[in-house]
Amino acid sequence: MSILIARKVRKTYGKRSLAQEVLKGIDLEVEKGEFVGIMGPSGSGKTTLLNVLCSIDQVTDGFVEINGQKLQGMKERTLAKFRRDELGFIFQDYNLLDTLTVKENILLPLSLSTIPKAAAEKRLQDLVSILGISDILSKYPNEISGGQKQRTSAARALISNPSLVFADEPTGALDSKTATALLDNLSEINKAKNATIMMVTHDAVAASFCSRVLFLKDGQIYTELYKGDKSRTEFFQQILNTQSVLGGEQGEA
């Protein structure tokens, strides 16, 4: 069953003569339990696509359905509650609150929930030990490194056991060891909890953790690759090949 369906999604920034069409009609379906990667050159609209899929941004045209519910036409309040209960976010620029400690930041999505403190504490301890940030819990964001911020952001995304996780360049600021740890962790959550994950990345290694990779170019889906029964190394090689066919500078997001 498809957990996410996007039909003819268009997104235009700016008005009239300044208008820039970033997404030019995207059709997309994601099955429950999939780990989908989105790749593409910088400025190709990856972040924009993620934002419209997860209801943070509005589409100009077309529609998006999550769990059979059409986002367009849903009330702002219902959408927000939906995001809070069903979705998890790992943002490119972390999006941590400066005034909160790491622990408070991670527990933020639960601040209006009825989950008992002990259960929340258990989830938190599990996550931070997997992500290796147990000893910075009482620090503030301006006292920790970029990688630690990203892992905090990941912990916050997963604390509410979301059915769909959106991750924008989650490994962008991490060294390869931490990046692998985080990706392993995402895979594990994907498998063990059958959580669906959509991850934007420009890193072929990161993409090779996915079960399917979409390539975005000029606002359209250029092609997609399935991992199938291939090993990770084979899949990685295939991604690299597609990237080189696709061209364009790949360096950053």
Partner 1 sequence: MKLSQLVFKSMQKNMRHYYLYFFALIFSVTLFFSFVTLQYNESIIAATKVSGTASSGFEAASYMLYFIVLFFVLYANHLFIKRRSKEIGLYQLIGMTKGLVTRLIAFENILLFIGAVSIGMVLGLLSSRLFAMILLKLLQFDAVVTMTFSKVAVVNTLMVFGVLLVIILVQMAFMVRKTTLLSLFNASKQADERVKSFSVFPMMMGAIGLGLIIYGYYRSTVLFTGQTTNLFLSMVIILATTIGGTYLVFRFSVAFLLNLFRLTKKGHLNLTDVLALTPIMHRMKGNAKSLTLITVLTAVSLAITTLSYISYYSASSSAEDEMPADYIAVDGREEPFIQALKQEGIAFEQKTFRLTSAQFDLATIFSGDVIGMFQGNTLSDALIIPLSDYHQLNSKVQLNKGEAIITGFSGFQSNIMPIEAPIDLTLLHQESEIPLRIKEVNDTAVLAWRVTAGGFIVVVEDSVFNQLQRLNSEYAIGYSTQEQTSINLTNADEETYKQVEKLYKQTGANVLFKSHEGSTVNKLSSQRSTVEYNLNLFGTTIFTTAFLGLAFLLATGSILYFKQMSEADEEAESYRILRKIGFTQDELLKGIMMKQLFNFGVPLLIGLLHSYFAVRSGWFLFGTEMTTPLLITMTLYIVMYIVFASLTISYYKKIIKQAL
Ligand X SMILES: Nc1ncnc2c1ncn2[C@@H]1O[C@H](COP(=O)(O)OP(=O)(O)O)[C@@H](O)[C@H]1O
Q: Of the candidates 56, 72, 74, 73, which has an alpha carbon nearest to the alpha carbon of residue 64? A: 72
Distance from C-alpha of 95 to C-alpha of 58, rounded to nearest angstrom: 20
Closer by beta carbon to ligand X, 47 or else 160? 47
Site size toward partner 1 (CB under 8 A) is 35
From 40-48, 173-181, 220-228, 237-245, give the range in contact with ligand X by CB under 6 A.
Answer: 40-48
Contact call for residues 100 and 106 (beta carbons, < 8 A): no
Taking CB under 5 A as the rule, does residue 105 contact Mg ion? no
Regarding 124 and contact with ligand X (CB under 6 A), the answer is: no
First to last CA, the chain: 31
CA 253 to CA 226: how far, in whole Å?
A: 22
Site for ligand X contains 45 (CB under 6 A): yes
Site string for partner 1, 33-62 (x = CB under 8 A): -----------------------x------
Q: Tell me, residue by residue from 28 to 67, as one string, x for binding to Mg ion by CB under 5 A and - for no binding.
A: -------------------x--------------------
CB of 244 to Mg ion, least distance (A): 21
Q: Does residue number 101 form part of the binding site for ligand X (CB under 6 A)? A: no
Confirm or reject binding of residue 253 to ligand X (CB under 6 A).
yes
Does residue number 42 form part of the binding site for ligand X (CB under 6 A)? yes
Q: Which of 99, 114, 233, 244 binds partner 1 (CB under 8 A)?
A: 99
Q: Contact between 236 and partner 1 (CB under 8 A)? A: no
Q: Which is nearer to ligand X, 106 or 253 (CB)?
A: 253
Is residue 58 near ligand X by the rule CB under 6 A? Answer: no
In degrees, rounded to 5, the angle at the alpha carbon of residue 48 between the alpha carbons of residues 44 and 53 is: 125
> Contact between 156 and partner 1 (CB under 8 A)?
yes
Partnered with residue 7 across adjacent β-strands are: 63
| Under rule CB under 8 A, residue 253 binds partner 1 | no
Partner from Mg ion, ligand X, partner 1, none binding residue 202, C-beta < 5-8 Å depending on class: none
Interacting residues toward partner 1 by CB under 8 A: 56, 76-77, 80-85, 87, 89, 91, 95-101, 103-104, 107-112, 117, 120-121, 124, 137-138, 140, 156
Interacting residues toward ligand X by CB under 6 A: 13-14, 22, 40, 42-48, 253
